[in-house]
Structure 1
Amino acid sequence: MNAVLIGFGYWGPNIARNLNVSKDFNLYGICDVDEKKLAKAKNLYGDKVKYYTDYKDVIADAAVDMCAVALRNEIGQIVAREVLKAKKHLFMEKPMATKLEDAKLLKRLAEENGVLIHIDHILVYHPIIRKIKEIIDSGELGELIFFESNRANLGPHIKNDMNAMWDLAVHDLAILDYLCNGKHARDVECMGVKKFGDQEVLTYLTIQYSNFIAMLKSSWISPLKERTIIISGTHKMIVFDDLKESEKLMIYDKGVEINKELFSEYGKYEAKVRMGDLYVPNIEREDSLLNSLTHFAECIRENKQSISGPDQGIRVLEILEKADCSLNKNEVKA
């Protein structure tokens, strides 16, 4: 399938590189209005791909099957709509939109034109996240009790067009949605602090589901870089630290057991902590972005919706919009 990358900026070169090595897609072209960026692309790919300065020329090219859009959201939305209207499959960067109504419009356009949308919620395609999903689905973890993510750093950028939650928590919301099979949130609360601009540089997002709770921390003002996820079940517990060179995933055979016999004379029962073994599975390294593209190609061939398709994108946005409302109500100024 012939694919064209629209936007050779921050993340675009990574998409182009993976399209170039993909067994499913042919890197047919690269589009950018900036001639300097196109010159960089030409140095890498030479004459074997086509180069465009206007995205309209891309969508008018009948040879193009799929467009990968890697642009700022306000521009990306316009381009994405035109791609779908031209009946070309769409690979787009996260978030799907900054407004729920825009995301729903993209979904409708895809359905009307018989094409598919894939949002690059890249961590859904991380081999360790896939392993965690396998563990949860097998029942090994037991019933889910809580999900906690910490995504923090000092910067590297303090953005003016979005807050830390929209920049960072999107990753973990997509992971959470994937792990719990798209379960809808029952209640959403968020608190944050603004400093160095008009956007929150630190947010704490709490989500209540019907049978478990999730807490997501997103920070641009931490002296320590963190990329951790902790998941607790009734049988076992999981820690995923993506910054470790090895032993990124640790499975703890730990938990709590209720002993109704103890202290029975007081009419009480005691919770007993169970300490078991630590297991570190060996998981081969994979390129999550290449996995993402491979999954999308499979969806196109089989005409099925992507795991990170518009439905997941909309569910993530529903939480973010509710969180924004909560932030406005609970605003703290440092």
Structure 2
Amino acid sequence: MINIGLIGFGYWGPNVAKNIHANKELNLYSICDYKEDRLEKARSVYIEQTTYESDYKKLLQNKDIQAIAVAVETSGHYNLVKEALFAGKHVYVEKPFTSTVKEAEELQELAQELNLIIHVDHIMIFHPVIRKIKELIQNEELGDILFIDAMRMNLGQIKKDVSAMWDLAVHDLAIIDCLMDGKEPFYINSVGEKYYNPKESLCFLTLRYEGFISHIQSSWISPLKERKLIVAGNKKMVVFDDMKTAEKLMVYDKGVNVVSGDDIEYDDYVVKTRDGDVWIPYIKQEDALYNSINHFRECILENKQSISNPTQAIRLQKILESADEKMNK
């Protein structure tokens, strides 16, 4: 049994607490938040099943706690993760990993020196639908990937310490990184606007990779909530709509066939669209956050790197920093 102390019970902390508590191999040893009303909310849910602290240092000093889960605003990640590592704790931390690549690289080096696990919660790579799409790509059912489009939009929650791109597009960057085995873009461009906020509330990110392109839209000011991913191959195409309660993944046997030969009429197109069947693969329902936390547990027990480790996080943050530079220009 691994004892975990949770720091932060605000926006995302309750979800982390719920999934730690649901895992029979983990013990939600303590919940910490500096706001008393949040601790009261936690007490109303877990009563005497855990302990409650307003000072996070008490969790770090407690030798019975093996791991710390950090679910606070991004600007607080660096110091908390660093202190937790120095206290000898493995760390689960919300995305984005840190505010800068430099901070992330420092924490990566520290974790390696201390032989401790850092698991960055890029939750979407633990989603069963993403796992299925990766299987389709690996089995060459989609063929060569042509483009990946992603839309992640809603009205709120507008955050002050990161932009919509750092908050939302990081999910889609993690998905692309996972599906394409860590392939990195050779071209990055972005535009954004700072509505109601010191950071961009609306962002458009364009990436060119060897063999395919990607466009990612992130917004906190959309009247509609969208969570959609399109992966188009030259054999088949898939659409993942995470807002659907069922049939989230659709596989389209659609594409373009190149027509060649000596008998092509002058008015005929040399390419023709192909419209085939649409099918819905069976995907077992799983909670992506539960999967993420359980993977963190397995990494601790087996002393192995997480698939969402600092190296992966740094790849994503380098893209985001480069995109920020383009927006600032």
Please report the TM-score for the alignment, with normalisation by the length of structure 2.
0.95
C-alpha separation between the residues in 2 aligned to 1:159 and 1:30? Answer: 23
Paired residue secondary structure (1:67): strand
Q: Match for residue 82 of structure 2?
A: 81
C-alpha separation between the residues in 1 aligned to 2:210 and 2:38? Answer: 48
1:118-137 correspondence runs (5 A): 118-137=119-138
1:189-208 correspondence runs (5 A): 189-208=189-208
Q: Match for residue 236 of structure 1?
A: 236
Q: Match for residue 140 of structure 1?
A: 141
Q: Quick one: which amino acid aligns to residue 89 of structure 1?
A: H
C-alpha separation between the residues in 2 aligned to 1:184 and 1:67? Answer: 30
Q: Which runs of 5 or more residues in structure 1 are unaligned?
A: 330-334
Q: Quick one: which amino acid aligns to residue 120 of structure 2?
A: I
Q: Match for residue 289 of structure 1?
A: 289
**Are the equivalent residues in 1 in contact too, given 2:74–2:162 (CA < 8 A)?**
no
Q: Match for residue 309 of structure 1?
A: 309
C-alpha separation between the residues in 1 aligned to 2:277 and 2:231? Answer: 16
1:78-227 correspondence runs (5 A): 78-153=79-154, 155-227=155-227
Cα deviation code 1:50-97 (max 9, x no counterpart): 222222111111111110011112222211101111121100000001
Deviation at 1:180, TM superposition (A): 0.7
Q: Quick one: which amino acid aligns to residue 124 of structure 1?
A: I
Pair 1:68-2:98 in alignment: no
1:243-282 correspondence runs (5 A): 243-261=243-261, 270-282=270-282
Of stretches 160-169 and 128-137 in structure 1, the one that deviates more from structure 2 is 160-169
Cα deviation code 1:159-183 (max 9, x no counterpart): 3322221121111111111111111
Cα deviation code 1:179-237 (max 9, x no counterpart): 11111111110012233333322211011111111100112232222111001011100
**Are the equivalent residues in 2 in contact too, given 1:263–1:270 (CA < 8 A)?**
no
**Are the equivalent residues in 2 in contact too, given 1:260–1:269 (CA < 8 A)?**
no
Deviation at 1:264, TM superposition (A): 5.5
C-alpha separation between the residues in 2 aligned to 1:106 and 1:132? Answer: 32
How many percent of aligned residue pairs carry the same amino acid?
Answer: 48
Paired residue secondary structure (1:294): helix
Q: Quick one: which amino acid aligns to residue 313 of structure 1?
A: A
**Are the equivalent residues in 2 in contact too, given 1:94–1:120 (CA < 8 A)?**
yes
In the TM superposition, structure 1's runs of 4+ consecutive aligned residues that sit over 4 Å from their partners are 262-266
**Are the equivalent residues in 1 in contact too, given 2:126–2:291 (CA < 8 A)?**
yes
Pairs aligned (count): 327
Cα deviation code 1:19-75 (max 9, x no counterpart): 111033111111122222222222222223222222211111111111001111222
Superposed CA RMSD? 1.7
Q: Match for residue 45 of structure 1?
A: 46
C-alpha separation between the residues in 1 aligned to 2:95 and 2:121? Answer: 6
C-alpha separation between the residues in 2 aligned to 1:12 and 1:189? Answer: 33
Q: Quick one: which amino acid aligns to residue 89 of structure 2?
A: K
Q: Match for residue 324 of structure 1?
A: 324
**Are the equivalent residues in 2 in contact too, given 1:261–1:269 (CA < 8 A)?**
no
Paired residue secondary structure (2:327): helix
- The alpha-carbon distance between structure 1 residues 261 and 199, as it changes in their structure 2 partners (threshold 3 A), is same
C-alpha separation between the residues in 2 aligned to 1:323 and 1:286? Answer: 33
Paired residue secondary structure (2:276): coil
**Are the equivalent residues in 2 in contact too, given 1:263–1:269 (CA < 8 A)?**
no
Q: Which runs of 5 or more residues in structure 2 are unaligned?
A: none
- The alpha-carbon distance between structure 1 residues 279 and 24, as it changes in their structure 2 partners (threshold 3 A), is same
Of stretches 196-205 and 248-257 in structure 1, the one that deviates more from structure 2 is 196-205
Paired residue secondary structure (1:205): strand
Paired residue secondary structure (1:47): coil
Deviation at 1:262, TM superposition (A): 5.8
**Are the equivalent residues in 2 in contact too, given 1:87–1:114 (CA < 8 A)?**
no
Of stretches 32-41 and 122-131 in structure 1, the one that deviates more from structure 2 is 32-41
